[in-house]
Every structure is written in structure tokens, then in C-alpha cells.
Amino acid sequence: MLLPVNAEKMKMKKKPFAITLNQDSNLAGFLKVANNAPVLSSDREATLARRFRDNEDVDAARELVVSQLRHVIHVAKGFTGYGLPVADLIQEGNIGLMKAVKNFDPERGIRLVSYAVHWIKAEIYEYVLKNWKMVKVATTKAQRKLFFNLRKSRKSLDAMTETETHDLAAKLDVPVKTVRQMELRMTGTDISFDGNDDSDDEFVTSPSGYLPDMRYNPEELAIASETSSNNNSSLKEAISDLDDRSRNILERRWLSDKKATLHELADEYNVSAERIRQIEKRAMEKMKVQLAA
């Protein structure tokens, strides 16, 4: 359930290690781990956070994450009314928790749970908006606020009464028309883009039938091929302009089948892993400027 990876990957990617929940059996095991995890003292929490920040200590990050899993479950339970799998909600919350651990600063004098809850909610919010329906029901910040408040305010799945509509509009300080529009989006059903496969009417064309298939269009294929060729040429030219050390670090970090770690390259060049990261970052910035020119 908890799969460790190299510390340098934790610094480069969004999450330090994977927490995967695929089936109900895995969820049960996850809940057991979360409920049995010890509660960390503030001193222990700060010590672990410094170890991860200063030394890229994956074990320290793991202990921090595991200690906060119960809070992920608590937050995720508040979103179960959307009909989405609870395991998926928890999984998204885990991603937010790991982002919080990665960015947590123990010197600010706050506990990790106070900092992490915002990251956890943000990831779950995003997941709900993307997956509650195939067609997004909320795209702007105001619409997202209305969407979640409308879900919490509805007492049933039935349509809101006129009084409920006006009360919610007044509470959120939005026009009554806006509340009605959002309710229509929420109560509307998704329509298959490819039509109904069971239809006996051979003359009925689904919406997708009106779109041309551009996959084999000669012009599109030629443009894609030329674009790919130009990008590859520009990339090779940008890499060739780097000094030997920077070019070797980038190629082995990103272009090799077996990618080298920061610590492996640090040992080879007899410098720190942080120095390798700085060289890598500077080389990427130089390439970015050249590719944009």
C-alpha cells in the first residue's frame, strides 16, 4: 500500500511516495493503518519535517504522512454525498497530504494538520468537480462555491422549492437566476456522445457522427510529423550548447532508460546532491530560453 521511492524523486515530483487504493480490501487495510498510526508530538513532528527538508529523508516523510492519514479519512467522509467511490476520495486526499508534507515549513510554528487540511480539501474539491459528471458543472471560482454550497443545502434529491431557492441566493449573495442555473446543471443527466447502441433506428446519427475523423488526414499527419521533427532538432541543438557536465547530468537524469539519481551523480562528481540539482535547474533554464527564442 505504501511504496517508497528515491528521495530525489520526491523533490521533483508532486508526491513523495505512492499510496494506492484500488479495491475495498485495500481500503480496509488502509483504514487499519490510519487508525493505528501514532499521534506525533509537536517536537517529533518538527524534527521529522526538518529531516525531510534538509536531508530528503523519505522515512521521515513517510512517518509524517502516516501520522496524518486519519485526517484524510475524516475530510474525505464529508464528500461522500456526491456518489463517488470513497477510496478515490481518500486517494485524492492522500495526494494533497503528500503535497502538504513536501511544502511544510516547521519553522512557522504551526502543526502539520492545520497546514495539510487545506491541501487535502483542495485535491478532493478538484476531483469532485472533474468526476461528478462527465460535463463539468462548475468552471469559475464563484460557480464552484455555489456548487458545493448547493449540494450541502439541498435537503433531498428533489428540486428545490421557490423559498429554498431564494433563501440560498440570499445566503450566498448571488442572483436567484444563478442558483436555478446551477441546480439545472446538477439535476440534468449526462447524454452519451456516441448515442444509444440499442437504437433500432439506423437513420439516427449520434453527435459524434457529425465530426470528421482527422486521425488520418494527410495534412494533419504531415503537420504533426514536421512539428515533432522540429521539436527534436531544437532539443538536440539546445542540449549540444550546454557544457559537458550539464549535458551529461540532463541526459542521464531525463533521457536515459535507466535514470540516474541526484545522489548517484553527486558521488560521481564529488559534490552534494543539492549542487547537482542546481546544475540541472540552471541547464533547464538555459535550454528553455533557447527553445523559446
- The tens digit of pLDDT for each residue in 6-42 reads 334 344 343 444 444 444 447 778 888 888 888 899 9
How far is CA 65 from each of CA 84, 90, 100, 112, 153, rounded to the nearest angstrom?
Answer: 24, 13, 9, 10, 33
Q: What is the largest CA-CA distance in the chain?
A: 73
Least-confidence region, from 131-135, 181-185, 201-205, 247-251 = 201-205
- pLDDT over 90, % of the chain: 24
Q: In sequence order, which residues have a C-beta less than 8 Å from that of residue 21 and are 6 or more positions away? A: 1, 27, 30, 87, 88, 90, 91, 94
Instruction: Check whether 102 has a pLDDT greater than 80.
Output: yes
How far is CA 73 from each of CA 5, 79, 93, 104, 269, rounded to the nearest angstrom?
Answer: 24, 10, 8, 20, 45
- Residue, of 127 and 143, whose pLDDT is higher: 127
Q: Give pLDDT, residue 274.
A: 92
- In this prediction the pTM is 0.44
**Spatial separation of the C-alpha atoms in residues 147 and 258, rounded to whole Å:** 46
Instruction: Check whether 2 has a pLDDT greater than 70.
Output: no
Q: Give pLDDT, residue 25.
A: 47
Q: Give pLDDT, residue 267.
A: 92
Region 81-103 average pLDDT: 86
Query: Distance from first CA to last CA of the chain, Å, rounded?
Result: 45
Q: Give pLDDT, residue 245.
A: 93
**Spatial separation of the C-alpha atoms in residues 277 and 187, rounded to whole Å:** 50
Q: Are 246 and 284 in contact (CB under 8 A)?
A: no
Q: Write the single-letter amino acid at 261.
A: T
How far is CA 113 from each of CA 21, 47, 88, 286, rounded to the nearest angstrom?
Answer: 22, 15, 21, 39
